[in-house]
Chain A
């Protein structure tokens, strides 16, 4: 699986958009980009995933660059409950494990 690189931390104001970057310059053509988050010590929670096209669901939007070497997770209106560690993961294979890195700690301030 391709290695992903994320800044260690960032913060944003409540109600504003949070844009979380991720680099995955060695990603292969059949690897999906996944985003999960972990609030305190709870189990990781799926947010969104994509292959080439931008994706949007009720939680977030995922913007993948045309060359697929980087992506951005967008939380459109961050709330205090979005404070968590966010993991960007590249994964492939019919039954592949997910390899979690250190993630990025997002702190949403009032």
Chain B
């Protein structure tokens, strides 16, 4: 089965530093998402992306966050100035259609630790 690939699997950074989390969605998918999960808590939606623009974003996704699809294969999440509370597992997902009528394929996640 096709997979969503995320790199790195673990990222450790100092508070205030910028991080970029990378994802390679499934090749024929058109919709892309970032979710995160703080340890012991729910999986939370961050942002959805379609046709090279943000479709929807949550309150978590403030000005410190940005997403980009720099080429035909990668989808990135940038956190400009990390905070301790950004420590979480970040999941990338993709789908051929919108989330309501098609399954999302999730990657295995990037564990971000902000020190």
Contacts and interface: CB of A to CB of B under 8 A. Distances in A.
Does chain A bind chain B? Answer: yes
Interface of A: 31-32, 34, 36, 38, 41-46, 49, 87, 91-102
A22 B106 CA distance: 23
A11 B57 CA distance: 36
Q: Is the interface of A mostly helix, strand, loop or mixed?
A: loop
B15 interface: no
A98 B107 contact: no
Is the interface on chain B under 10, 10 to 19, 20 to 34, or 35 or more residues?
20 to 34
A7 B56 CA distance: 30
B108 A43 contact: yes
B57 to A, nearest CB: 9
Interface residues of B: mostly helix, strand, loop or mixed? strand
A38 B40 CA distance: 13
4 residue pairs, one from A and one from B, having the closest CB atoms: A43-B106, A46-B103, A95-B98, A100-B43
Contacts of B31: 95
Contact of A95 (B4, B43, B99, B106): B99
A94 B42 contact: no
B44 interface: yes
B45 A97 contact: yes
B50 interface: yes
B86 to A, nearest CB: 17
